[in-house]
Amino acid sequence: MRVRLDLAYDGTAFAGWAAQPGLRTVEGVLADALATVLREPVRLTVAGRTDSGVHAAAQVAHVDVSRSAWERLPGRSDRAPQAALLTRLAGVLAREAAASSGSHGLGTVPRGASDLVVAGARTAPPGFDARFSALERRYVYRIADGAGEGRAAAPRDPARRGQVLWVPDVLDVDAMAASAAPLLGEHDFLSYCKPREGATTIRTLKRLDWRRELDGPDAGLVTLTVVADAFCHSMVRSLVGAGLAVGQGRRPASWPGDLLAARSRDGAAPVAPPHGLTLEAVSYPPDAELEVQAERARVVRSLPGGDCGC
């Protein structure tokens, strides 16, 4: 059986998504928790592999489990398997967070809380693949800048210091927005990616919006919303770094486009800190199109230099 998991996490104390020996990672913690609850080893597939320190508000993963393990989840209760899985995972993850708080610098963890939450679990429709069936990923980067003439700075909420980059400068958001236009569409983003052997750096940017938020929980903050079919390693944070260089007046608005055209790692875009970045959404086609989309993506990524899936 394939089970879809919807999850969120604070990436501060995680060394990224991918499991690594001796490091606390989202994949490692979640796989161990699932194995404990299901009483069988598991292998996770994720929609977007986030870097160390990057957060997720709406990550998607899938796991294949035996039918016997799924059916025994409720035990003697009358709960549905998915409800039993969520309840038991919450307990295991809370205990893990408490046990890890000292050794991983988490500080005191509130009783019953975890920095990784599985918010949803359900049997996946036929053809669903968390990675290959995805149509696009959406990230948001949040920045609190200085106070401008006639404008108060966004309140620097200490409770959000781990999710918002603080800069002393007054950012020129109009120049940042103008600098983003040449980057939209399909391009070779070598100047904005840390390439991996055998992986292409060609991506299709569908949205790249710099703006100052006027209302809502992010009122006053400068945000970058970026949407693409997929991203390569450190690409989003490099896009942020280039935009910041423009907004702080260190580079002209034409520089990000010139950098893209250079297609070179010499003088590559600076990489912004990870903590301001959050994966906000992963979108999928209708159920009837999941398998076709997954096969299409697999073909593209099996070509020489195919997509790295980051």
Binding residues for substrate: 139
Q: How far, in Å, CA of 183 to CA of 258, rounded?
A: 10
51 is known as an active-site residue = yes
Distance between CA atoms of residues 297 and 229, nearest Å: 10
Query: Which residue of the set 10, 51, 115, 307 is catalytic?
Result: 51
Q: Pseudo-torsion of CA 274, 58, 280, 99, nearest 10°?
A: -20
* Whole-angstrom distance, CA of residue 35 vs CA of residue 27: 12
Q: Measured between alpha carbons, how far is 101 from 3 in angstroms, rounded to an integer?
A: 29
- Residue 305 one-letter amino acid: G
DSSP 8-state symbol, 171: -
| Residues in the annotated binding site | 139
Asked if 255 contacts 239 with a C-beta cutoff of 8 angstroms, the reply is no
Residues 112 and 54: their CA atoms lie apart, in Å, by 23
| Count of Cβ atoms closer than 10 Å to residue 127 Cβ | 18
Catalytic residues: 51
